C-alpha cells in the first residue's frame, strides 16, 4: 500500500491549507479560528512518480489554550503510530513556541522521519532570519513554505519522498 504522510502542528499554523494545496482541491476546511477541521482527512498525492496518502491530523481542534497541548500530543502520537513520514508544520509569524518544542521532542524520540515546514513565509527575503530559529527544534532543516501562496512546496515534497 501507499506510504502515509501525516501533517502535524499547532492549531492555526496552516495544516489544512497545506493539505488542500497538496490535494489540489479544498477538502479540508481552513479557518482563522481553530476547531473546524473535520476529523482525519485523507487525500492521495503524487510527486515525482511517487504516490502517497496525506492526512490532515487537525481533527476537532480545541479553542482553549489549556487543552491544545494535550490534543497536539495525542495527534502527534497517532501520526507516529500510523505515518511513514511526518510533516511537522510551524508558523514563522508566531515563532517557536513551547508547544512546538514539546511535540518536536516527541517526534524526535519516535525516530520516525520528520520533515519540518515553517509556514507563512510569504516573503522569504524579509523572513529568512526568522526561519533559522526553527533549527533549535533539533529535528533538522526547516523548509520555508507559504501554503497559501503555494511556495516552497516542491522542496518540501522532495524531502518527504526521499524518506520512502
Contact 48, 77 (CB under 8 A): no
Question: Cell numbers at residue 146, please?
Answer: 507559504
Length of the chain: 164
Near ligand GDP by CB under 6 A: residue from 25, 32, 49, 98: 32
Q: Is 149 annotated as ligand-binding? A: no
**Counting beta carbons within 10 angstroms of the beta carbon of residue 56, is it exposed (0 to 12), middle (13 to 18) or buried (19 or more)?**
buried
Q: Is 56 annotated as ligand-binding? A: yes
* Interface of this chain with ligand GDP, residues 80 to 119, rule: CB under 6 A: 119
Rg of the chain, C-alpha, whole Å: 14
Q: Is 15 annotated as ligand-binding? A: yes
Q: Minimum Å distance from CB 142 to Mg ion?
A: 21
The single-letter DSSP state of residue 2 is -
- Decide whether 86 or 161 has the Cβ nearer to Mg ion: 86
Q: Minimum Å distance from CB 28 to ligand GDP?
A: 7
**Residues of this chain that bind ligand GDP (CB under 6 A):** 9, 11-17, 30-32, 34, 37, 58, 61, 119-120, 122, 146-149
Amino acid at each position: 500500500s501507499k506510504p502515509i504522510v501525516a501533517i502535524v502542528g499547532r492549531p492555526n499554523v496552516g495544516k489544512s491549507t497545506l493539505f488542500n494545496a497538496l490535494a489540489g482541491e479544498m477538502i479540508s476546511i481552513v479557518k482563522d479560528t481553530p476547531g473546524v477541521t473535520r476529523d482525519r482527512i485523507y487525500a492521495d498525492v503524487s510527486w515525482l512518480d511517487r504516490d502517497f496518502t496525506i492526512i490532515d491530523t487537525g481533527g476537532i481542534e480545541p479553542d482553549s489554550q489549556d487543552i491544545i497541548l494535550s490534543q497536539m500530543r495525542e495527534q502527534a502520537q497517532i501520526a507516529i503510530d500510523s505515518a511513514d513520514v511526518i510533516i511537522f508544520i510551524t508558523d514563522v509569524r508566531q515563532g517557536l513556541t513551547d508547544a512546538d518544542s514539546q511535540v518536536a521532542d516527541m517526534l524526535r524520540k519516535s525516530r520516525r522521519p520528520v520533515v519540518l515546514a515553517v509556514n507563512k513565509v510569504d516573503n522569504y527575503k524579509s523572513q529568512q532570519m526568522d526561519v533559522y530559529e526553527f533549527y533549535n527544534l533539533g529535528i533538522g532543516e526547516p523548509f520555508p513554505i507559504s501554503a497559501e501562496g503555494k511556495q516552497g512546496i516542491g522542496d518540501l515534497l522532495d524531502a518527504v519522498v526521499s524518506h520512502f
